[in-house]
Structure 1
Amino acid sequence: MTTIEQALNQTAAQFAQSGSDSPQLDASVLLCHALQKPRSYLFTWPEKALTDSELSTFASVVERRLAGEPVAYIVGEREFWSLPLSVAPSTLIPRPDTERLVELALEKAPQIQGDILDLGTGTGAIALALASELPNRQVVGIDLQPQARDLAASNGQKLALSNAQFLAGSWFEPLKNGTKFALIVSNPPYIDGADPHLSQGDVRFEPRSALVADDNGLADIRYITEHARQYLVAGGWLLFEHGFEQGEAVRAIFQQFGYQDVSTQQDYAGNDRVTLGQFTD
């Protein structure tokens, strides 16, 4: 007989030994998934014995995690900005650091009226966070992959956020000529293809096309920065998430294309994470 508490402790020990950063959390999330119960259930019934069927289901998802598969892909969901989002291997897993991009966009939004564009939207995390906080604004999310566009749209429907819409295509391609935005935000591919971190941890399972860019990870940032000028209203803002060592390079790209008030802001860990600039026409 194995109780909930025993299963959690044994699995957390396995995860810790395998190098997980959050072994106890991983174990509890996967057990909730296997039991189809909320986390409160685990704490309320620690002495409850698991059935053979429940143990078998739990063992199968534990095995996937021990093989390195991200918890978010196993359970099919990740919370971002307090919004439950479905995730899939066609998209990046939303990360807490990206909430800093949302915060900074929300700081700029009151300064200027107009719609908001999220490029490389993935699960729709950024677009939907902004749509939830700015119900009177229209938010458009674009992703190259139709599967990602469909997933983002599904997330928007589940959250009943009717002010968010999602399109498939390469960067600005799906937009009609003359379309203008007050804010353009993006968490684009920004990792150099030679970066050793690409072969480590959860990132091994994420779509490479959403991670890697040419020119030391700066090619997509450069492209968006140049072409965003056609789609920003005068006084509009462009904001990027980027790698913690890329702040100086990204600021130089903004300045090259004539943006004003360019700055780099840090994430919760004190690392350079978001660069923004204003297009003044």
Structure 2
Amino acid sequence: MNQPTCTQALAAAQTLGLERLDAQLLLLHALGKPASARAWLLAHDTDELTLEVAQAFRALCIRRASGEPLAYIVGSKEFFGLALQVDGRVLVPRPDTETLVDWSLERLQLSGLLQVLDLGTGSGAIALAIAHSLQAAGRPAQITAVDSSTDALDVARDNAARLGLTVDFIESGWLKQVTGRFDLIASNPPYIASADPHLAALAHEPLQALTAGADGLDDIRQIIKEAPSHLLLGGWLLLEHGYDQADRVRNLLTQRGFSQVQSRLDLAGIERCSGGQWHP
């Protein structure tokens, strides 16, 4: 019995409800080729797959059709130009979070050694993106990344080692085990309300990294309360939050005594990050 061609396999994947790009990336993964080789599929559209590849591709498609994130299936996700290894122990890095990295780098346009803290690092995306950017610019910095999950820290450490980036990792519930003061604290904490109906679509990702109480702001409240004792004079606290939380987060920052409180828009034009400067 003949095996399907590349074109036929991709068509079958789409009947399962997969988007064409996802199907192409899964087929490349099954073939052992990089995600950048999509042009190869076009040039070999009539090539028959081996039985082993056809079966592997079908299994990958079924996983994706069940809602498992593509990044978990292929084991990696690009973030801020870095290829990060990810799996079910950490959230999949989102493009919107690059807004937080851009803002962080903007605020770090200073001279001398920079002290930076990433709270809730997960895969290490924010800390590693900042470390890589500062290293490329020849800017000396000490980057510290915190997470309460030992599993997440294992993923982050592996990413740091593979990318050749120096980051100090601390296992801690937010700032409990953190000492010292920083020029900048950046965080993408859980911010989804515990009863939010959108959680069903995120069932494959770690729940503890997604939800934060009835209104989704419990962790943000705690970070804003504790951050000043870990900020240098003039240091910044920058937070990612939900699409409808900017006003409330700005109010929390203002009430805590932060100045220059403001928000930044994500790629869709939504207020995705808010922060302020500490001047007691």
TM-score interval (norm. to shorter): over 0.9
* Runs of 4+ in structure 1 over 6 Å off: none
Provide the residue aligned with 1:83 in structure 2: 82
Matching residue of 1:217? 216
- In the TM superposition, what is the alpha-carbon distance from 1:174 to its structure 2 partner? 2.5
* Mapping for residues 86-97 of structure 1, pairs under 5 Å: 86-97=85-96
| Counterpart residue type for residue 173 of structure 2 | S
Farther-moved stretch of structure 1 (223-232 vs 3-12): 3-12
Q: Which secondary structure state, in structure 2, belongs to the residue aligned with residue 156 of structure 1? A: helix
Please, what TM-score do these two structures have when normalized by structure 1?
0.93
Which SS does the other structure have where 1:115 is aligned? strand
Q: 1:35-184 alignment to 2 at 5 Å?
A: 35-39=31-35, 40=37, 41-111=40-110, 114-135=114-135, 136-162=140-166, 164-176=167-179, 179-184=180-185
Q: Which amino acid in structure 2 is aligned with residue 197 of structure 1?
A: H
1:140-175 CA-to-partner distances (Å, cap 9, x unmatched) read 11111001011101001100112x222212111222
Deviation at 1:112, TM superposition (A): 6.7
- Tell me the SS of whatever aligns to 2:233: strand
Q: Distance in 1 between matches of 2:276 and 2:133?
A: 22
SS at 1:140 equivalent: strand
CA contact (8 A) 2:194 2:214 kept: no
CA–CA separation in structure 2 for the residues paired with 1:247 and 1:209: 22
Alignment check: 8 A CA contact 1:183 1:237 kept: yes
Residue 27 of structure 1: aligned partner: 23
Q: Could you say which residue in structure 1 is the equivalent of 2:17?
A: 15
Gaps of 5+ in 2: none
> Tell me, what secondary structure is at the counterpart of 1:273?
strand
The percent of aligned pairs where both chains have the same amino acid is 43
Following superposition, the deviation at residue 66 of structure 1 comes to 1.3
| Ranges in structure 1 where 5+ consecutive residues have no aligned partner | 17-22
Q: Please name the residue that 1:19 is paired with.
A: none
CA distance in 2, matches of 1:42, 1:158: 29
CA contact (8 A) 2:115 2:142 kept: yes
CA distance in 1, matches of 2:220, 2:259: 17
Letter in structure 2 aligned against 1:30: L
Aligned length: 270
Q: Contact 2:192–2:212 (CA<8 Å) still a contact in 1?
A: yes
Q: TM-score, normalised by structure 2?
A: 0.93
